[in-house]
Amino acid sequence: MSQYRTFTAADAVEYAKRFGSVDDPSALVSAEEIGDGNLNLVFKIFDRQGKSRVIVKQALPYVRCVGESWPLTLDRARIEAETLVEHYKYCPEHTVKVTHYDPALAVMVMEDLSSYRIWRGELVRGAYYPEAARQLGEYLAQTLFHTSDFCLHPHQKKAEVARFINPELCEITEDLFFNDPYMNHERNSYPVALETLAAELRDDNELKIAVAGLKHHFFAHAEALLHGDIHSGSIFVADGSLKVIDAEFGYFGPIGFDVGTALGNLLINYCALPGLLSPREAAEGRELRLNDVREVWTRFAERFTALAAAETRDVALAWPGYVNAFLQKVWADSLGYCGTELIRRTVGMSHVADMKNIRDEAMRTECIRSAITLGKRLIIAAPHIENIDALIARIRQNG
């Protein structure tokens, strides 16, 4: 910590010259700060021709969007770097490459993805990437299988769980996903017209018992090394390619949390599209989102099953039929966590462009209402939705 200092743009350039792994370090001459303003400093480093070559990211010792009144561990930079390195090991085609990490400065250097676009922005404007959902399902299957008990020796798995203990960032998740939206909290924010609906979340006993179960599961089930915040703003897309970034919430938790968070962000967009596009474009876009939801789950389940058949090391877990039973449990978990993602993005503090970019206030309110209602229904009904076809039918019923 004594070596730590907050980087300026000039510092980032000098650091990239030393650790950017570029052929001619002297060609790096300038930096632009491109962070989203929430947690970190992120610099894009340019050469003399104005081409961006590398990314330098530094963790700040507090929540940037709040200020020094909300301190935050710098160890999250280690967690992020090591999670991305592990995930890259098993799925390099869909994970950003980390080329250097310095724990004292809480800095990492990563490949530049300037030829890619952030998936959330593309979804908001109605752009469609037909391979993205399948690729996301592949990423989830590869990373979650290979860091699970199906693949790792028990001794290695326990050591990895200890290495990726991430209590401060997990506490943020625990509060924002499972606490704040279900109580009166100053961090919550939603249209005044939805106060009755928000109050129902606070007073629904069946819902709150189900949310408590999801939170307890998040506490207690160290099934695999999660990304921990796998939303469409943490995914870059290009024609035929997808890359995942921003893994500072990584830890060993329930596999369904990552899968459900990914599905939840697709469904947030599904709920928002009537306020973002023309009626015809919105209807077409919603069908594409449902296809994306189907594709993410189907690809994940098929690839996880194939990997388990080929690579499971534990004799008990390899018993015929067990992986199918396990994935049925993951499916129910995923639906529950999908519901909590929908609610925390609409009632809690972490709002997203899908809803914020809807200009018509009345339409925005109705889209948010749709997301909250769908989230609540999924949380309660998760144990009773048998398969992906049943899920799609439930979503259509929501309107």
pLDDT on residue 1 = 42
pLDDT on residue 62 = 80
Average pLDDT over residues 372-383: 98
What is the end-to-end Cα distance of the chain in Å, rounded?
A: 52
* CA separation for the pair 57, 66 (Å, rounded): 19
Buried b (16+ CB within 10 A) or exposed e, 202-217: eebeebbebbebbbeb
In this predicted structure, the answer to whether residue 174 has a pLDDT above a threshold of 50 is yes
In this predicted structure, the answer to whether residue 289 has a pLDDT above a threshold of 90 is yes
SS (H, E, C) 280-298: HHHHHHHHHHHHHHHHHHH
**Predicted confidence band of residue 175 (pLDDT cuts 50, 70, 90):** very high
pLDDT on residue 399 = 75
* CA separation for the pair 141, 272 (Å, rounded): 28
pLDDT on residue 37 = 57
Domains of the chain: 9-111 (3.30.200.20), 117-398 (3.90.1200.10)
Q: Residue 42's beta-bridge partner residues?
A: 57
In whole angstroms, what separates CA 98 from the centre of its chain? 18
**Predicted confidence band of residue 305 (pLDDT cuts 50, 70, 90):** very high
Average pLDDT over residues 74-81: 94
Give percent of the chain above pLDDT 70: 97
Q: Which two tokens stand for residue 338?
A: 């999908």
pLDDT on residue 372 = 98
CA dihedral 34, 36, 41, 43 (to 10 degrees): -20
Give percent of the chain above pLDDT 90: 92
CA atoms within 13 A on the CB side of 344: 24
In this predicted structure, the answer to whether residue 65 has a pLDDT above a threshold of 70 is no
pLDDT on residue 64 = 64
pTM of the predicted model over 0.85: yes
pLDDT digits (tens, 9 = 90+) for 3-31: 899 999 999 999 999 999 898 999 999 99
pLDDT digits (tens, 9 = 90+) for 122-165: 999 999 999 999 999 999 999 999 999 999 999 999 999 999 99
